[in-house]
Amino acid sequence: MDKRKSNRLITLSRLDYTAGDVTTIPDKSDYPIRVPLEKGNADEFYFIHKEYSLTNSDDSVYHLPFIFNECGTPWYEANLYFYERSMEEDFSRGGYKTTDEIRKDASMLLDYKLFCEDECIDYLDFSASRAAKRPSYRYSQYLLHRDDVSPKNLNKRTLVVYKFYEFVSKLPGYTLDMTRVDKTKQAFIIFQNGFKKQVTLRSQTVNASYQQKPVPIGYVRDGGEDLRPLSNGQCDELIDVLNSGVFSVDERLIHLIALNTGCRKQSIFTMRMKHINQLFKSLEVAEGLESLHNISQELKDEISADGTLVLKAGGKTGIDTKNGKPQKLHFPRSLVQQIHTYAFSKESAKRRKLFEQQYGDILSEDDMYLFLSTNGNCHYMAKNDPRYRQVKTRPKGEHTDYLKEKLFRNVSASFPKSFTFHWQRATFAYQYYQHLSRLVVYNGKTKLKPGQLRPGDEIRKIQIRLHHTNRETTEHYLKLFVEFDDKLVAQDGYEEILFKGIF
């Protein structure tokens, strides 16, 4: 990283009243904010009228990048561009205005500015008759000859520059011809489902391989991630270590939720006290039922036919899911009892108290996170957390890396070295598949008894539990499971040779 960037790029912690109107006419009914005019008389003010129609009354922008020119003055066009972008993205992502991507783009745009300064280029001068002499083209060629810039990264950087000029070309007083910045043409991307998306192709892009890497032997690709289930023996070893006492109660429960529900870490870490209370009430109802047959639809939403307890996640539930997708998580009754015991333990109450001491009463008792660190901090910040927009670096489940390291210190040498916390999702699917496969009846003429399944029903049930939109993703799991033993032996043999002498 260029050391000059530390003095040229700063982050404005907060910009207030970004959705307000500025006027010289006060309106007492709106209680406007009165601001004195710089270099004006003592009785001269302008007024800001806040926008009250917003869903969230806080119309501030947090952590907005601000760039300076070499001489120390603000880079007007760039700062206005990123400010306008923050307004365009206002409440467009699940109701929250964040500047995470904007800050990354600001860093890339400053790289372009530094290049122009080093080469004595006027970044607004596109008068050269030859395209190769114009600023954007010279920069793309410079990136092309850098060994540390991949084709994908080059395309990203030149796109940031192009979008910036696209904004500048529309500003009053600027006569910038975008055809001289880059040559473009329109094209369509056709997806497998027939959907067409129009895209803009730029001449400064380079060929970058977006072809997915082949799935390694013994793995399954789910949502772009390569997962591998633990074998039954490895799963038993994991559970033995979890029950050995080396893990604290909350650490053990975090693993058990993943193993028993297949949900991702963001869902586990954003579970709240109200969700535990809800599950425990369902548990009490289920324990009082003599049979799960012919129960009401209302109870079916809380208690599954197999006796597991249902918890809704995603949407407005407060439990984060991948892409905010609504999900139903199924909890075994024994696990709910253990979670409830921990949730109301002295240790858990102590951590909630620490959270309150640090952040006040921003979360009610019901909305308090189930799993907090020993310092009273959350492991993953939910999108509806009041601090979500205000915190520059939000916790995103890094605690699972610590759990993995702790696990490796206590397992045998034969335990998979490439294990990650997310493997437990595939392990859950494998265990569930083995359970369901014993219930499948292959004689189509036989009338099914309660609990029995027709061939193909197991795919549907696994698809529901893993929340796969496409059945094809679930089928990849089953293809792996059918040949799992052979593939596992092959993969273990490969890894033994590959890592020989390293571990």
pLDDT score for 499? 39
Task: Identify which of 250, 151, 234, 286 has the alpha carbon closest to the alpha carbon of residue 418.
Answer: 234
Higher pLDDT pick, 341 / 291: 341
pLDDT score for 450? 78
Number of H helices, E strands in the chain: 18, 11
Cβ of 111: how many Cβ atoms within 10 Å?
Answer: 19
Residues belonging to the chain: 503
pLDDT higher than threshold 70 for residue 47: yes
Percent of the chain with pLDDT over 90: 61
CB under 8 Å to 200, separation ≥6 — which residues? Answer: 184, 185, 186, 187
Q: Tell me which residue has tokens 């003010």.
A: 45
| Mean local confidence (pLDDT), 25-30 | 64
Q: Can you spell out the DSSP letters for 385-448? A: STTTTT-SS--BSTHHHHHHHHHHTTS-TTS-TT--TTHHHHHHHHHHHHHHHTTB---TTSPP
Contact 67, 106 (CB under 8 A): yes
Measure the CA–CA gap between 19 and 353, rounded to whole angstroms.
Answer: 36
Q: Please report which confidence band the pLDDT of residue 480 belongs to, taking 50, 70 and 90 as the band edges.
A: confident
Least confident interval from 66-70, 186-190, 202-206, 320-324: 186-190
Q: Please report which confidence band the pLDDT of residue 367 belongs to, taking 50, 70 and 90 as the band edges.
A: very high
Measure the CA–CA gap between 369 and 254, rounded to whole angstroms.
Answer: 13
pLDDT higher than threshold 70 for residue 28: no
Helix (H) or strand (E) segment spanning residue 308:
none
pLDDT higher than threshold 70 for residue 93: no
| Mean local confidence (pLDDT), 12-17 | 86
pLDDT higher than threshold 70 for residue 489: no
pLDDT higher than threshold 90 for residue 484: no
| Mean local confidence (pLDDT), 119-126 | 96
Average pLDDT, rounded, for the chain = 87
The residue ranges of every structural domain in the chain are 5-175, 222-246+410-503, 264-384
DSSP 378: B
Percent of the chain with pLDDT over 70: 88
Q: Enter the pTM of the model.
A: 0.83
pLDDT score for 496? 46
| Mean local confidence (pLDDT), 404-431 | 95
Contact 388, 320 (CB under 8 A): no
Compute the half-sphere exposure of residue 5: CA atoms within 13 Å on the CB side of its CA: 16
- Could you tell me the two tokens for 162? 């192009």
Higher pLDDT pick, 160 / 440: 160
